[in-house]
Structure 1
């Protein structure tokens, strides 16, 4: 089977998809505006003209269409609706699958009627639409972005061989306590709320260490904010870390914090749960799908650093609870967020669409 992905080749999620199906014996190609080297996968990189992906897509539509026709895939699968999904729809290639990641249907189309019409048109051209979470699927149905029976909820999931309880190298309760964030350092992930919570936490839980994994345009601002708040000595900014190393960092963490104000499926949260880090998350649909407040984690209001500080302190003061929650969260991940289960389901849809195309 020949699969062509229209997707960001630099994204770890795109790379996971491509490697998986290449390992399954498929011929996999990626057309991307970002470079990426993936063993066994052919990557076609289109040089960006502007820093806005949607503009680059429009300017490169002819080239993308010619590339797709040259590759002649059995399946064309676009990831991220407002850029690559639009390109896939305009290419006219079938079967065509569009996967929504989150902001591309939950946030960007809400900015203007034009975006909403563009998303509706692109998804109407797809033979199958996949979303990462039930709340996304429900939202797309309410917006009439596609026919309901064409939308499938398919979480990207966690590699439970890599992210699992065996990653833990310390028990909850060991000191100094460690709090970790693995979100990108961009505005929508709101990591500054975590930085602003640190003074209160270290005042109540002296010596607590904070590990910030990830990079982005706000990194200099966040590092300066930590200095201004007098907590730079408690905060380690690691930058971008290879995905295969993230599990080791989570396995050494007591508390995982996600401050994102919007998400599709919070894969970072699932990874932390699998590795036994106690989750403290924003009270948004993507997180409520996995966390029941005060049962297997804690929720706090978006952009509220005081609530976040209180939640972290409560979690740190209750090491036995954190230890007990580990088994429950591992079972949730294995049951509902397994990467291997999701990929089996996706492969089933690939073959179904191929069969329907041949009839």
Structure 2
């Protein structure tokens, strides 16, 4: 969101941000509607995603939605952009403004919530009908949008991207490797919040097998969360504490330094998808379609860091068939991860070939500035297309 606002502001557009969690963004006006029951909601545990929303939360969203609707009407913008479906998509629909660009990027609404909740499925279908533009990461996201009834002409693929001019200098990378105790060693990095859906325990359980063959390896976890102590205890139990560094939270500006310093990037994401039947006997077809690419995966591709990520739809847009066989591993399977890691450690020439190909691909497809400029053109075209209808 911040990068989006900064880009459009720098291009001379008037940018207004309406958010209950505002940031100071140069060149943008920020409107922060007062969140009803704010003190109560702040006491809720932020990581407890299994706690069912209660009446106060629902009422709070309704009151915020009405405030946002009045704000949007007063601003009368040329276009509304809403990021993610679960909350902001609903709020944008209630705001009722056209054109609206709705971003489905890296959230679970399309392929999990739409299968487990009739209410969410109904809301998602309504959002897809309401929005004038629907953005997703990859071909799997496009297919899922179509399955849910989205009009093909509304769908745009944009994988966001990274700023190549902000990648770290080599001296900074070397200093970070030394600080992490990885000088002269092969370094694996995993950048995720320490939460159950990212299955970081599987990553740790793969390490003993790798270390047995390659004691010249080191491992870092960048991120924080409720599983910090549990994962630290697991590392001690597995006897790998001397090989693993828990870095903790790192700001976005530092993430490219970690992928630049590392030789391999690991993403063990594993949502443990629900199965069975939900409403009226509906058979759930939950998947990771549309989850897309994390920004850290894109950073890994751009910084010569060989990815080792769990197998999921959409990645075929990036990886060749051979790369899918050698770089992707089964979610929740530490043995598969360990074997893939050991195979790559023994194949430096192949790793170098992968690094070169993915570095070229990342500059072709994942350049943030080029992608943002394309979004801008798409916005302007849509505004012009709907201008006669708005004027009447």
Measured in 2, the distance between the counterparts of 1:89 and 1:283 equals 34
Which residue is equivalent to 1:311?
Answer: 340
**Does 1:100 find its partner at 2:104?**
yes
Measured in 1, the distance between the counterparts of 2:155 and 2:368 equals 19
Measured in 2, the distance between the counterparts of 1:167 and 1:293 equals 35
Which residue is equivalent to 1:89?
Answer: 93
**Does 1:276 find its partner at 2:304?**
yes
Measured in 1, the distance between the counterparts of 2:136 and 2:220 equals 31
Which residue is equivalent to 2:268?
Answer: 259
Most deviating of 298-307 and 146-155 = 146-155
Shift of 1:305: 1.0
TM-score (norm 2): 0.81
Measured in 1, the distance between the counterparts of 2:372 and 2:232 equals 38
Contact kept, 8 Å, 2:66 with 2:94, in 1: the verdict is no
Measured in 2, the distance between the counterparts of 1:225 and 1:37 equals 39
Measured in 2, the distance between the counterparts of 1:165 and 1:269 equals 19
Most deviating of 187-196 and 271-280 = 187-196
Measured in 2, the distance between the counterparts of 1:311 and 1:293 equals 15
TM-score (norm 1): 0.88
Which residue is equivalent to 1:147?
Answer: 151
Measured in 2, the distance between the counterparts of 1:199 and 1:79 equals 40
1:36–1:323 CA distance, 2 compared to 1 (3 A)? same
What does the per-residue CA deviation read over 1:218-273, in whole Å, with 9 as the maximum and x for residues that have no partner? 22322222222222221112222122221111111011111113432333212101
SS in structure 2 of the partner of residue 312 of structure 1: helix
Measured in 2, the distance between the counterparts of 1:315 and 1:288 equals 19
Which residue is equivalent to 2:355?
Answer: 326
Question: Which structure 2 residues correspond to residues 121-270 of structure 1 after superposition, within 5 A?
Answer: 121-144=126-149, 146-163=150-167, 169=173, 175-261=184-270, 262=288, 263-270=291-298
What does the per-residue CA deviation read over 1:270-303, in whole Å, with 9 as the maximum and x for residues that have no partner? 2101100011111101333222354486110011
Number of equivalent positions: 344
Q: Alpha carbon RMSD of aligned pairs, Å?
A: 2.5
Counterpart of 1:31 (choices 18, 22, 29) is: 18
Most deviating of 150-159 and 66-75 = 66-75
Task: Specify every segment of 5 or more residues in structure 1 that has no aligned partner in the other structure, as ranges.
Answer: 1-13
1:275–1:167 CA distance, 2 compared to 1 (3 A)? farther
Shift of 1:358: 2.1
1:142–1:293 CA distance, 2 compared to 1 (3 A)? same
SS in structure 1 of the partner of residue 164 of structure 2: coil
1:85–1:136 CA distance, 2 compared to 1 (3 A)? same
Q: Which has the higher contact order (CA 8 A, sep 6+)?
A: 2
Shift of 1:165: 9.6
SS in structure 2 of the partner of residue 161 of structure 1: helix
Task: Specify every segment of 5 or more residues in structure 2 that has no aligned partner in the other structure, as ranges.
Answer: 45-52, 271-287
What does the per-residue CA deviation read over 1:15-55, in whole Å, with 9 as the maximum and x for residues that have no partner? 11111111112222222233433233233334356456984
